[in-house]
Amino acid sequence: MAEHFPISPTERQAGLLALFRVARIIPVMTLERVEDAVPLARALVAGGIRHLEITLRTPVAAEAAAAIIAGVPEAVVGIGTVVTAADLARSLQLGAHFALSPGATPALLAAAAASPLPFVPGIATASELMAALAHGFDLVKFFPAVPAGGLAALKALGAPFPQVRFCPTGGIDAGNAAEWLALPNVVAVGGSWLTPAADIRAGNWAAITERAHRAIAPRR
C-alpha cells in the first residue's frame, strides 16, 4: 500500500512527474472479474510494465484494485476514471499511488488540490488546461487524445503552455504510441491495447506478457 506523507504541492507534482517519466507506458485496465486482477497485473509486471491504471468503470473495480495492491507489491497502482471527490477519497483509501480523471470539474480539482494523493486531471481544451494549472496541476491527461485533435492538437497546446507535461490517452495503440512519446511535452501514454478483453477473459496471460515486452522493447 502506498503511504502518503504531508508534502508540498510542488513536491507532490515533482514526484508524480518522475513516476510518469519512469513508466512511459501505462496500461488502462478495465476489469470485469476480481479473479482476473492479480494474474493480469503479474503478467504485465513480468513483461516489464509496473505502472498500471485500474479504471473505476465496473462494479468490481475497487475490489480488483485492492487485490492488486495487496497481491502484487511490484505494481505501482493508479486509479482511473476518477470523476468525483468521493472517487478520489476511495482511491486514497485503497492505497493507490496516484489517480487520474477523464476530465475535471471545479469540485474535483479543488478536492484533488487538497488531497495528498498525486492526481492527473483530464483535459481536452486550453480552457480546461488553464483550470488545471490554476489548481496546481502541471501534469495532465490529454483525453480523448485522438478524437480531441491528435498529435497536432497536443503540439499546439505546447506553445502557450510550455511548462505542462502530458499523458495522452484515448486512441493510443501499438502503432502510434512511439510517435506520441516522441513529443517533448509527453512523458507517458496510456492505452488499453496491452490488455485486450479477449485475452483477459481467456486467461491468456502469456500473450499479455509478450505484448508488454514488445511495447517497451524499443527503449531498452
Using DSSP's 3-state secondary structure scheme, residue 202 falls into helix
Q: What confidence tier does 130 reach under pLDDT thresholds 50, 70, 90?
A: very high
Q: Establish if 71 belongs to a structural domain.
A: yes
Residue type, position 132, single letter: A
CATH number at residue 211: 3.20.20.70
Residue 153: pLDDT over 60: yes
Is residue 220 in a domain? no
Range(s) of the domain holding residue 73: 9-215
Query: Residue 4 in contact with residue 91, Cβ under 8 Å?
Result: no
**Where in the sequence numbering do the catalytic residues fall?**
53, 141
Q: How does pLDDT run across 51-82, given as a tens digit for each residue? A: 999 999 999 999 999 999 999 999 999 999 99
Averaged pLDDT score across all residues of the chain:
96
Please check whether residue 73 lies inside any domain of the structure.
yes
| pLDDT per residue as tens digits for the range 108-128 | 999 999 999 999 999 999 999
The grid coordinates of residue 149 equal 485533435
In a domain, 4, yes or no: no
pTM over 0.75: yes
Q: How many distinct structural domains can be found in the chain?
A: 1
Report how far apart, in Å, the C-alpha atoms of 85 and of each of 8, 45, 60, 129, 130 are.
20, 30, 19, 19, 20
| 2 in any annotated domain | no
Whether 1 is covered by a domain: the verdict is: no
Confirm whether 3 is domain-assigned. Answer: no
Whether residue 207 is contained in a domain is answered as: yes
Could you tell me which residue, 117 or 219, shows the higher pLDDT? Answer: 117
